[in-house]
């Protein structure tokens, strides 16, 4: 099993989570597990949300990594919240407006 160490340290004590970030072999979800959408597919936020298996206690990089191991049932997502103090509209965040928002 390959694990990826995720580190989060923004001026506070570092916390690390080991999680599965690759499938055991090439399969249906291999590219999605490694956060690479298939050719022609649109991006999905589901690629970026780590999940914890309530059955095995294993952290996966995303739901697709869990599916590679047959552990896609009874998952809990990593709770993420984002606070933005800038005056940003939904239109500014759409893919067609990325250059203008930067």
Enclosing domain of residue 50: 3-101
CB neighbours (10 Å) of residue 43?
Answer: 10
Closest C-alpha to 66, from 26, 24, 36, 37:
24
* pLDDT of residue 64 exceeding 50: yes
Q: pTM for this one? A: 0.60
> Distance (Å, rounded) from C-alpha 95 to C-alpha 73?
32
Residue 44 has a pLDDT of: 77
* pLDDT of residue 4 exceeding 90: no
Q: What would the two tokens of residue 23 be?
A: 């499938």
> Distance (Å, rounded) from C-alpha 42 to C-alpha 38?
8
> Distance (Å, rounded) from C-alpha 94 to C-alpha 64?
24
Report the domain count for the chain: 1
pLDDT one-digit tens code per residue, 23-57 = 888 778 888 888 776 677 777 777 788 999 999 99
> Distance (Å, rounded) from C-alpha 102 to C-alpha 100?
6
Mean of all residue pLDDT scores within the chain: 75
* pLDDT of residue 75 exceeding 80: yes
């Amino acid at each position: 099993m390959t694990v990826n160490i995720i580190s989060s340290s923004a001026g506070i004590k570092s916390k690390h989570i080991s999680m599965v970030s690759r499938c055991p072999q090439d399969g249906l979800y291999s590219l999605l597990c490694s956060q690479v959408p298939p050719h022609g597919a649109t991006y999905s936020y589901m690629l970026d949300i780590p999940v914890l298996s309530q059955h095995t206690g294993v952290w996966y990089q995303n739901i697709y990594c869990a599916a590679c191991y047959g552990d896609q049932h009874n998952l809990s997502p990593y709770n993420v919240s984002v606070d933005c103090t800038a005056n940003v509209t939904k239109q500014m965040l759409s893919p067609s407006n990325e250059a203008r928002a930067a």
